[in-house]
Structure 1
Amino acid sequence: MWRSFKTWFQVITTVFAMMALLASTYAWFTANREVETSVATARTGEEKLELQISAYGGSSFQSQESVPIQQVNQTDAGDLMPVSTDDLTNFVYVPFTQDGQATVFRQVENEQYYYHGRVYLRAVGSGWDSGTKLNLYLDQSDDILGSDVDGTMLNAARLGLKFDGGSPVILKLSESSNASANQVLHTVVNGQTLGANQVLHSSGGSVSPVTDPGASAEDYTVTFENNGIQVPQNALYSMELNTIYPVDIYFYLEGCDPDCSESITLKQADLFLAFYGVISQ
């Protein structure tokens, strides 16, 4: 597709109670939605745990029930354009197409074609053994990915999460695909047309095709069965207690995805993302 279009969303993050020894944080990419929350506190005997969230870090950290995800630049996040990345650091876009093919690529400057926001998390605990950590996962038990998750826009969208000191995680927001008539494969590098599971790696002013790092949300999602919880093998991040962590959040359209076609022009979508914390000892 490689052309400009608009989408509208408001970003909100909240904290609320889930169950003993667990803590949760919710984030919205949505429009005009009201949220009611309460602080999550886990307690067993003298052990206490509270997952806190703030719009600001350092000495300005202030735990609140809901905070806006502060955009880290002056870019208008309501005007998005397809980009491609494999690391959430180097994004490229296509300034123009030739005969319907994307063959010329430029580095994105000032993050102008994707959304980048930031919040701060802290797991406040006492009574735990030294070295106790809180592992973060996703929780989709309340249909958190939004009512429009199967919409054409989310099929091409990506959610990127970068935790301080950790490896970036890129998530596909939908396992569905658009109808074949609404799919395209027109990204060409050195005469090679990229396939459905490839994106662009950018380095030193040049690009090369690499395997799409986008993972299924299910790979990081806890499930609840028979009054128990099943924890996936992969954690988004492992937090030390009583330490403030910035969490960078990226929302963008992967231009190399076959679903990134004209069919998503002027589309809107709701995204409701939840993090689920489990004590690890």
Structure 2
Amino acid sequence: MKRSFRTWFLTVTIILILFVVVFFTYAWFTSNRAVSTNTVTARTDEENLELQLSGTGGSSFRDSQPASITQVNKTDAEYLIPVSTNDLQNFVYSPFTDSGMASSFERVQNEEYYYHGRVYIRAVGEGMDDGSTMKLYLDQSDGILGQKVSGQMLNAARLGLVFDENYSSEVIFKLSESQNASGQQTYNTVINGQTLGNNQVLSYTNGTVRAASDPSVSADGYTISFSDDSVDFPQNALLTMQLNKIYTVDIYFYLEGCDPDCSNSIQYSTVDLQLGFYGVLSQEGA
């Protein structure tokens, strides 16, 4: 019988981020960050598969533990302010508010105000059949995504991933399935006379800012789960990787200013956030 996956696999924790809100201006505020990574290898008696990370790509790829994640354009991202996007390519921010309402917006230049880092990833396999690939999923088995949170910062946070610089692969995750209490939510984004509600963000096209649907999704649809004797695969894989090929992983972290949870109720929040990846070997004809 044709099967999709083998039973050996590997897991890698790739991101460790510490965010602390240090200043705020009522729903559009600032945050600082620090980042590091590490890697894990899985092997069998006859075959081995290693997920390698590097801070550089191409011929400069060097497996490193940890691999350094740096801001792509070298902008100082110590302070992050709320921004809004529906595509991870065009971000807007509000330079000021009027009576607590954000109604004037500008495009973010040079990736200021949000974090955009990059690492390089490669699945190195030995003893594998021709046509072998690796499917990449999220792994929250240790309960580390969105844990160790002081305050409610994650309710308004977003994590975006883009693989191999192909924005058709982008996925934006909500980092919490919870919401602030109604008294701690703020609806203060106004565009063309309309106050944005739940599940709305801002888009930027050719100099025009418009309301758009929030593209963020739950991490559950990309997260592998485990029982005593089986592994349950989610509906979606983040990426199907060819073995021994280097891929870029672009990492975006930002505060969605249009989210009603992006309010002063989460000032001085702290977040210890880890994002786990889980890779599964897939072989043609197996």
- Please classify the TM superposition score into its range, dividing by the shorter chain length: 0.7 to 0.9
CA contact (8 A) 1:186 1:193 kept: yes
Query: What does residue 273 of structure 1 align with?
Result: 275
Q: CA deviation at 1:72?
A: 1.3
Letter of the 2:144 counterpart: I
State the one-letter code of the partner of 2:125.
G
Distance in 1, Cα, partners of 2:177 & 2:248: 28
Specify the code of the residue in structure 1 equivalent to 2:282.
S
SS at match of 1:154: helix
Q: Which amino acid aligns with 2:12?
A: S
Counterpart Cα distance in 2 of 1:76 and 1:268: 20
Contact 2:10 2:40 in 1 (8 A): no
Listed one character per residue, the Cα deviations across residues 103-141 of structure 1 (whole Å, up to 9, x for unaligned) are 111000111101111100000113333332211111111
Partner of 2:85: 85
d(CA) in 2 for partners of 1:272 and 1:177? 20
Q: CA deviation at 1:38?
A: 6.3
Q: Deviations over 1:254-274 (max 9, x none)?
A: 001000011223322111110
Secondary structure, aligned partner of 2:271 = coil
Q: TM-score by structure 2 length?
A: 0.85
How far does the alpha carbon of each residue in 1:9-47 deviate from its partner, in whole angstroms, 9 at most, with x for none? xxxxxxxxxx933342431002799x99664133363x3
Aligned pairs, how many? 262
* 1:169 pairs with 2:171: yes
Task: Note the aligned Cα RMSD (angstroms).
Answer: 2.3
Task: Name the structure 1 match of 2:95.
Answer: 95
Q: Which residues in structure 2 correspond to 1:182-201 (within 5 Å)?
A: 182-201=184-203
- Note the residue ranges of structure 2 that are not aligned, 5 or more in a row: 1-6, 20-32
* Contact 1:24/1:40, CA 8 A, preserved across alignment: yes
Instruction: State the alpha-carbon separation in 2 of the partners of residues 199 and 146 from structure 1.
Output: 22
Contact map agreement 1:138 1:220 (CA 8 A) in 2: yes
Alignment-derived partner of residue 107 in structure 1: 107
* Structure 1 stretches lacking a partner, 5+ long: 1-18
Check the 8 A contact 1:25/1:51 in 2, yes or no.
no
Alignment partners' CA distance in 1, 2:147 and 2:40: 25
Matches within 5 A, 1:1-281: 20-30=8-18, 39-43=40-44, 45=46, 47-149=47-149, 151-164=151-164, 165=166, 166-281=168-283
Secondary structure in 1 matching 2:63? coil
CA separation of 1:131 and 1:149: change in aligned 2, threshold 3 A? farther
**Corresponding position of 2:30:** none
Aligned to 1:6: none
After TM superposition, the structure 1 stretch with the greater mean CA deviation from structure 2, 177-186 or 21-30, is 21-30
